[in-house]
Chain A
Amino acid sequence: MPWLSILMGVPVVGALAVSAVPKGNDRLAKQLTLAVSLIVLALTLVMAFQFDPSGRRDQFSEIYNWIPSFGVHYAVAVDGIALVLIALAVVLVPIVVLASWNDADRPEAKRSVKTYFALILVLEAMMIGVFAATDIFLFYVFFEAMLIPMYFMIGSYGGAQRSYAAVKFLLYSLFGGLLMLVAVIALYSIAGKGTFLQPELIGVIKDPTTQKWLFLGFFIAFAVKAPLWPFHTWLPDAAAQAPAGAAVLLVGVLDKVGTYGMLRFCLELFPDAAKFFTPLVIALSVIGIVYGAVVAIGQTDMKRLIAYTSISHFGFITMGVFAMTADAGSGATLYMVNHGFSTGALFLLAGFLINRRGSQYIADYGGVQKVAPVLAGTFLVAGLSSLSLPGLSTFVSEFLVLIGTYERYVVPSIIALSGMVLAAVYILWMYQRMMTGPTPEKIKTMPDLNLREKIVVAPLLALLIGFGFFPKPLLDVINPAVHQTLTSVHVTPFTPAIPATAEKKGAGQ
C-alpha cells in the first residue's frame, strides 16, 4: 500500500475541498480541515504501527520516474528518524487547526478564512513530503515549496509587521535554498551516477575539497532553516508576527527540516567534510545555546521570547547532531520531536493569552494565576518543559544530547550546561512577571481556558509528561536509524574508561 503517497494525497485533496467550500460557510471549512487532519493522523498511526524499527532502512518505499532524462524520481520512504518527525507534524496539525479556530476571522486578515485552513492542509502535505523524500531533487522541491503556504500564512494573517516579517522569512530561506540548489546540481553532475536518489549517492563523493564545498552548500541552507546562530534573526520576527498556529508549525516542524537535513544529507553524504567542520558547528551551536538564552531573558514580547528560546534549543539539536555519538544523535532526534510539542504548547498558550488581552507584551500582564488558574498552570507546565524539567520529555532529549556530547567534547558540553540555568531564568522570570503578583484591573475579567482550548493543550501536555517518564517507544524507533546514520559516517563508537556493565553482559552470555 502506498502509505506515504496517501498521507500526502489526503491533505491535498482536503485542501482543494476546503477551498471549494462556498463563501460564508467558514464553519464547514474549519470542520472539514479538522476532519481531514484527523484522518491523516489516524492513517499515520496505522502506518507507524506497521513500521519495523529493526527492519530495512527505507520502509514504505515508493519509487517512480519523474524526469527520467535527469534521473529525477518521485521517491519516498521513511526510517525511524523520518517517521517520528512525520508523526510530530501530523500530531501538531489538528491541534493547530483547533487552536486557530478563530484566528483567521480577525478583520485585519487579508484573505478569507477558508484559505487559511486550506493553506494549513497544503503545508501538512509538504511537511510529510519533505521528511519522506529520498530523492534529493524531490526533497529540494518540497524544501522550497513549503515556503509558499507559510509566506501567505504570515503575510496575510499575521500581526502589524507581517509584511516585513514574511518577506524577511522568504528571502532568508530562498538565499539558503539557492545555495543548496547549486550544491544539489553540483552533487548530481560530480557524482556522475545519473540519479538524485540519496541512498545511491552515499559515499560517492570522495574528494575532500569537493565534499567541503558541497557540504557548505547544504549546510548553510539548513543552518538558515534551523536556524543556527548567526543566521537566526528572521525567526523572532516571523514567529512574533505569525498567528500562533502558524508559529507552531513554523518553529515546531518547518525548522526541524534544517536539523533533519543536517543529519540526513550533510552527515551521510559528506562524512569527511562534516568531521572537518564539526568544531565550527559545535562552536556555533554552543554560542547559539547561550546567546539565544541570554537574548531571550531580555525580551519584552513573549512570542519573541519563545522564539529566542527556540534558537537556544536548536543549538542543542545541532550540537547533538554533530557530536556524532549514538547518545547525542538519538537525543538530538528526540529533541526535534519534543521541542515541537513543548514550543507548540508555549506558542499556543501565548496565543490564547494574546487573544484575551490583545497584547503580546509581557509587561501588560500580571497576576493571571489568580483569575485563570488553568491557563496559568498549563502555561507553567509548558514553560517547565522548555526548561527541560525531568519528568517531561524535553529533559530526556536534552540530557541525552548533553551526555552524548560530553562523551566526545567535554568543554562545549559544560558550557551548554549553563543553558539549563539560563532556561530557568527566562521561563520563570516570564512566569513571574505574567502570572504572579497583584492582578491589574484589565486582567480581572480574563476568562480561563474554554473547552476547545483545553482540548488543544491537553494532548500536548499528555505527550510531554508521558514521554517524559516513558520515552522508550520513541527511542526504540529512533535508535536503529541513528545507528545506521552514524555507520555511514564511520565514527568510532564511544567506550567508557572502565566499562562497569561489560562483566554483567559477559556473565549472561
Chain B
Amino acid sequence: MEPAEIVQHSGGVIGVSWLMIVLPLVGAAVLLLGGRRTDRWGHFLGVAMSLASFVVAVLVFFELLGLGADQRRRLVELYDFLPAGTLDVKMGLLLDPLSISFALLITGVGSLIHIYSIGYMAHDPDRRRFFAYLNLFIAAMLLLVLADNYLGLYVGWEGVGLASYLLIGFWQHKPSAAAAAKKAFIVNRVGDMGLALGIFVIFTTFGTVAFGPVFAHASQASQGTLTLIGLALLLGACGKSAQLPLQSWLLDAMEGPTPVSALIHAATMVTAGVYLVVRSGAIFEGAPTAQLVVTIVGVATLLAGAIIGTAKDDIKKALAGSTMSQIGYMMLAAGLGPVGYAFAIAHLIAHGFFKASMFLGAGSVMHAMNDEVDMRKYGGLASVMKITWITFGLGYLAIIGFPLLSGYWTKDGIIETAMHHNPILGWLAVIGAGITGFYMSRLFFMTFHGRPRWDKDAHPHESPAVMTWPLIILSVGSVFGGAFLITGNRFMLFLSPAVGRPAELPSFAPFSVTGLVTLALVAVGVVYAWLRYGRSEVPAVAPRGSLLTVFARRDLYGDALNEALFMRPGQWLTRLAVFFDNRGVDGLVNGLAALIGGTSGRLRRVQTGFVRSYALSIFFGAALLVGAWFVVGNL
C-alpha cells in the first residue's frame, strides 16, 4: 500500500500543533533570559512546559485517530521561512502517524525525565539552566520530527545537536565533559555535512525540499540520484545515531548528567537517524544500493555496540554500547523497506521506554553510590534499592527479549524480517541478540547481585519518590509496550498512511526456528553471565583480559583510528598552514616590503647634498631628453 496523500489542514488542535514546539521553547527562553531570578521555580516551569507539550501531542493524536486512515497526513502551514530566488521554503508541520508517534515518545518520556531530574539535579546550583537546556532539546527534537520539509528537519537536527552539546558539557568545569561535548558536536557535524549534501541533491533534483512533492516525484528520479541522496542522508543518520563509522562520540557523551543520557543519548535524539531513513522511505525504496548499505551499517553497529557493551565496567558506557547496538537493530529494520519500518519504529518506541528506564535506574544507583559509575564497586544493591531493582530488572528483561516483554516482540520482528530478506543479516542479528543477553545480564548481575563491593563511605539508599515514579511508569511501558504495538500488526496498520505497508502483512510466529534459536542464544548468554558475574566473585580491579576484551574495552579502537586518521594529520596540517601563512604568504608580502625599503635605502645615497652634482644630473637629464627627441623626431 502506498502512503496516503498529504492534506492541508486548518483548525482544531492540529491547527495549533505548533504549540508543541513553542511551549518548551518559551520555557527555555524564560529560564535562560530570566537568569538567577528564576532559580526557585525554574524546574517547575520546565516540567510544566514539557507536560503541556505532551498534552497537546496527546490531543493531536486523538484528533488524528478521529480521521479516516487515509486522511491522517495533515499539513499545517506556518510561515514563509526562506524565500530566495529559486529556493522557497515554507515552514510547515506534517502531522501523520509517524511524526505523532515520535512526538508522543519525545514529550512523554521527556516529561518523565524532566520530573525525574527535579530529584536528580536537586543539589546542583545550576538546575535551572539544566531545565532550560532540556526544554530547548524538546523543542528542537519536536521540530525535527514534525517539520514538513528537509530544511526544517535540518534546523531541528542541528538544534538537538546544540542541546546535546550543552547538556553533555553541562558540568563544564570538568575538562572531560567539555571535551566530550565538543567531540559530540564535531562528529555530528561530519554527519550533518552528509545531510546537507542530501538536501542539496534533493533540491537540485526536485526544486523543492518539502516532503510531499519530493516523495511524490521520487520515482521519476534516476536510481543514481536516489542512491546519492540515500547515502548522503545515511551519513547524516550515522552521525546523529552513532552508527559506524561515526559512533565514537556516544560513549564519551556519557559525561553528561544521567537524565541527559537517558533522554537524549538513549530514548530520543540518537534515534533521529532512524526517523530520517524511515521518513525518506520513498527515496530509499528507489535506491536498493543505499538500502543495502543502511542494513550493513545497522548490522555492523549492532554487533560493534554489543561487543563494546560486554567489556565496559562503567555502567553508563555499557548502557551506551547497548544503545548503539539497539539502534543498529532499528537501522537494520529501516533498511528493509516498508515491512521493516513498523518494526524499526516499534522497537524504537519500546527501546525508548526500557532504555530510559534503565538509564534512569543507573542514575538512581549512582545517586545512591556517590556518583560512582564503576560496576565493580557495586554489587548486591538489589536488597537496598527495591524499586530501582525491580524497574531496572523489567527493563533488562525487556531488552534481552524475555518472552512477552517489549523487546521480545519488536526485536523478534526485526530479526524475522531480516532473515526473510537476507539470511546473513538475519543470523548476524541473532548473534547480536545472544551477545545482548550476555552483556545486559553481566551489567544487571554486577550491579544488583553478588556480594557488595562498595566503597567505605557509600551508603546506598532508595531514591526519592520524584525519581522512582518515572521509573515505575517507564517500566510499565517496557513490559507491555511491545505486545501492544506488535500484536495484530496494530502499529504497522497505524503507521501505514505515513510510510506505506507491504501488500501482505507479516504474521507473528511465536515458535519459528529463528525465534527459538534467538531465545536459546540469549539463554546461553544469561547463564554464562550468571556464572561469571552473578555466582562467582567479581574482582574489584578489572583483570587484564583477553585480546578481545581489550579490543572491546578500547571501543574497538575507534578513537585510536580517528586519532591516527584525522586528529594527528589535522594537527600537522594546522601547524603547517599557520607556518605557511606567517612565513609563506605574509613572508612574501613582508619580503616585498623589505625589498622596496632596502632598494630605496641604497638609492637615496645618490642625494649627496652637493648642489653642483644635482645640476650636472639635471644637465645630463636635459641632454638625454633632447637626444631622445632627436632620435624620435628622425623616425
Contact = CB atoms under 8 A, between A and B. Distances in A.
B545 interface: no
B69 to A, nearest CB: 25
Contact of B83 (A171, A232, A414, A476): A476
A461 B189 CA distance: 23
Contacts of B158: 389-391, 395
A471 B181 CA distance: 30
B190 A483 contact: no
Given A298-B574, A327-B84, A470 B185 contact: no
B87 A500 contact: no
A327 B82 CA distance: 10
B458 interface: no
A377 B84 CA distance: 32
A437 B175 contact: yes
A493 B84 CA distance: 13
Contacts of B570: 297
A174 to B, nearest CB: 13
Given A327-B85, A437-B172, A500-B208, A291 B200 contact: no
Interface string A203-234: 00000000000000000000000000010111
Of B79, B225, B585, most A-chain CB atoms within 10 Å:
B585
A424 B200 contact: no
Contact of B175 (A230, A390, A438): A438
B586 interface: yes
Number of contact residues on B: which range applies? 35 or more
A417 B197 contact: yes
B44 interface: no
B221 A377 contact: no
A214 B440 CA distance: 72
A432 B179 contact: yes
Contacts of A291: 577, 581
Contacts of A469: 81
Given A298-B577, A414-B197, A432-B179, A325 B85 contact: yes
B214 interface: yes
Contact of A421 (B169, B175, B193, B199): B193
A86 to B, nearest CB: 21
Contacts of A435: 172
Contacts of A420: 189, 192-193, 196
B532 interface: no
B172 A369 contact: yes
B554 interface: no
Contacts of B196: 399, 402, 417, 420
Contacts of A33: none
Contacts of B207: 495-496, 498-502
B22 to A, nearest CB: 11
Interface string B212-226: 011011001100010
A498 B189 CA distance: 29
A432 B182 contact: yes
Of A390, A414, A504, most B-chain CB atoms within 10 Å:
A390
Interface string B232-247: 0000000000000000
A367 B178 CA distance: 10
Nearest to B581: A295
B507 interface: no
The SS class assigned to the A binding surface is: helix
Number of contact residues on A: which range applies? 35 or more
A472 B182 CA distance: 32
B173 interface: yes
A294 B581 CA distance: 11
A504 B207 CA distance: 12
Contacts of A439: 173
B589 interface: yes
Interface in B291-350: none
A331 B172 contact: no
Contacts of A390: 154-155, 157-159
Interface string A481-494: 01100000000011
B573 A294 contact: yes
Contact of A436 (B154, B172, B221): B172
A382 to B, nearest CB: 14
A407 B175 contact: no
B86 A407 contact: yes
B182 A428 contact: yes
B536 interface: no
Contacts of A483: 85
A185 to B, nearest CB: 25
A389 B185 CA distance: 11
A413 B200 contact: yes
B581 A233 contact: yes
Contacts of A389: 158, 162
A417 B193 contact: yes
A295 B578 contact: yes
Nearest to A368: B172
Contacts of A37: none
A475 interface: yes
A177 interface: no
A384 B83 contact: no
B593 to A, nearest CB: 8
Given A367-B173, A420-B193, A299 B84 contact: no
Contacts of B220: 498
A425 interface: yes
Contacts of B192: 420
A54 interface: no
Contacts of A437: 172-175, 178
Interface in B103-126: none
B82 A294 contact: no
Contacts of A479: 83-85
A424 B173 contact: no
B480 interface: no
A354 B243 CA distance: 42
Interface in A279-299: 291, 294-295, 297-299
A294 B578 CA distance: 8
A172 B79 CA distance: 46
A4 B449 CA distance: 80
B573 A327 contact: no
Contacts of B199: 403
B186 A470 contact: no
A352 interface: no
B155 A391 contact: yes
Contact of B185 (A295, A399, A424): A424
Given A391-B155, A421-B193, A326 B589 contact: no
B551 interface: no
B193 A299 contact: no
A165 interface: no
A389 B189 CA distance: 10
Contacts of A470: 79, 81
Interface in B528-568: none
Contact of B82 (A295, A428, A471): A471
A424 B172 contact: no
A330 B86 CA distance: 10
A421 B577 contact: no
A476 B83 CA distance: 7
Interface in B375-421: none
18 contacts: A171-B593, A299-B578, A327-B87, A369-B172, A396-B82, A404-B86, A420-B192, A424-B186, A424-B189, A428-B181, A437-B178, A469-B81, A494-B204, A496-B204, A499-B206, A500-B207, A501-B206, A501-B207
6 pairs of A and B residues whose beta carbons are closest in the complex:
A326-B85, A496-B207, A436-B178, A500-B213, A298-B578, A390-B155
Interface of B: 32, 35, 79-87, 151, 154-155, 157-159, 162, 165, 169, 172-175, 177-179, 181-182, 185-186, 189-190, 192-193, 196-197, 199-201, 203-208, 213-214, 216-217, 220-221, 225, 570, 573-575, 577-578, 581, 585-586, 589, 593
Given A233-B585, A327-B85, A497-B204, 14 more contacts: A294-B577, A295-B577, A327-B87, A391-B158, A391-B159, A403-B204, A406-B200, A421-B193, A425-B186, A432-B181, A437-B173, A471-B82, A472-B81, A496-B204
